[in-house]
A and B are shown apart, each in its own frame.
Chain A
Amino acid sequence: MSTWSLVSELSAFSGPCAKKAWRREFPAVLREVGPCLAWIEAIARTSRLSDDQTYAILLCAEELVTNIVRHNPPETAGAAPLCVAMSLQVEEDRVILTIEDNGVAFDVVQAPTKQIEPSIDLLEPGGLGVGLVKRFASNLQYFRTQTGNKVVASFITECASAPDGVKG
């Protein structure tokens, strides 16, 4: 069962740039990806994120969670269930997506990006998710924790208008 909470609401600024953080925990199974994306979309709407920024966050979240699910062996007797903790932090100039899991070590930053073969006949389907995460996140960090993996992806916010008093 998924649980989520608004971890903190820090209104350093008025309007859409207020600093807020949300957190969600869920079992690492493919059927949880859809609800996870819906959760992100709801936050994006509330925070008035741009379509482009929302898309980038959704894409990276889907690819990272799907990777966790697909690259961990089935649960063995006595092993802890595979879980994901996802947090989304909306700051003045960026959104930070943090994904933690208790699966096998996987450094997405060091993982190679799949190269496209010169011919469709030579290309094996799949494997493009890591490359997309690296292209769509403004910044990507990986940490191996005591319990598993932690990926921090940030997405720069492109401001629609100049600050007050500054002429364009």
Chain B
Amino acid sequence: MKLEIAELENGIVKVLLSGRLDVDGALEIDDAFRTAVGGKKNVVVDLADVTYLASLGIRTLVIGAKAASQMGGKLVVLAPQRNVEKVLRESNIDTLIPILGDDADVDLVFGF
């Protein structure tokens, strides 16, 4: 599981994840993810290269989303693969963590 960070315009932080967000993947990036989103208001997590997501991965996203909310902002996810998106929707977590289709929606969702 790999994690990269990019700073977008308007102070938006983009966290790019790649690999499998299973038990091992979630444990692997947990600390780095918390550090990446800690203190950040607007976070977009790019899931385009995440091939697998299970509940522990959702837990990681929820922790990040709560941290962003405490800063007065939000965390959204971007471009999940088909089955990853299905997991997000079937768990209903997409009601609290919005799913964006592409980069064009990022500024819009954060009000820029």
Contacts and interface: CB of A to CB of B under 8 A. Distances in A.
Interface of A: 30, 33-34, 37, 51-52, 55, 58-59, 62-63, 66, 116-117, 119-121, 123, 125-129, 131-132, 135-136
A128 B66 contact: no
B52 A132 contact: no
Nearest to B24: A34
B23 interface: yes
B49 to A, nearest CB: 16
Nearest to B84: A55
A66 B56 contact: yes
Nearest to B69: A120
Contact of B87 (A66, A116, A125, A132): A132
B23 A116 contact: no
B83 A55 contact: yes
Interface stretch (B4-12, B36-44, B90-98, B101-109): B90-98
Q: Interface SS of chain B: helix, strand, loop or mixed?
A: helix
A116 B66 contact: no
Top-7 shortest CB links A-B = A129-B55, A135-B90, A55-B83, A128-B55, A125-B62, A116-B92, A125-B59
Given A116-B95, A132-B90, 19 more contacts: A33-B23, A37-B22, A52-B83, A55-B83, A62-B22, A66-B56, A120-B74, A120-B97, A123-B96, A125-B59, A125-B63, A126-B59, A128-B58, A128-B91, A128-B93, A129-B55, A131-B90, A132-B91, A135-B91
B65 interface: yes
A135 to B, nearest CB: 4
A132 B55 contact: yes
A125 B97 CA distance: 13
B50 to A, nearest CB: 12
